[in-house]
Amino acid sequence: MDYFNKTSLTKKLLYQSKNRGCKEIGLILGKFAEKFLANMDAANLADFALILNQNDIDIYDWITSKTAPPSHLNSKVMLQILSFDINNIEA
């Protein structure tokens, strides 16, 4: 992936992370993206994009450990999201 495409995709994913239907998920994924997105390789960016295409309520359930994510979403990025410290997020 060349620099221009990665930069464009990174901006798109950051926007999608912050602007969710559910404010809480937007805060969590937005802060996660701000912290980790710039250092992701192409495979991790693709995994993150796949996660962002899921319903907010499902993502919320996974983050709060109410349910486990489906096996096709198990990735390094999903593990990072699930272990992301949401207690220190400020709006």
pLDDT tens digits along 16-55: 999 999 999 999 999 999 999 999 999 999 999 999 999 9
Domain with 44 in it: 3-88
DSSP for 19-45 reads S-SSHHHHHHHHHHHHHHGGG--HHHH
pLDDT at 90: 72
Q: pLDDT tier at 91 (50, 70, 90 boundaries)?
A: low
Q: What pLDDT is stored for residue 38 in this prediction?
A: 94
**Number of domains the chain contains:** 1
Q: What is the pLDDT of residues 58-89, one digit of tens each?
A: 999 999 999 999 999 999 999 999 999 888 77
Do the beta carbons of residue 25 and residue 56 sit within 8 Å?
A: yes
Specify the CATH number for the domain of residue 44. 1.10.150.250
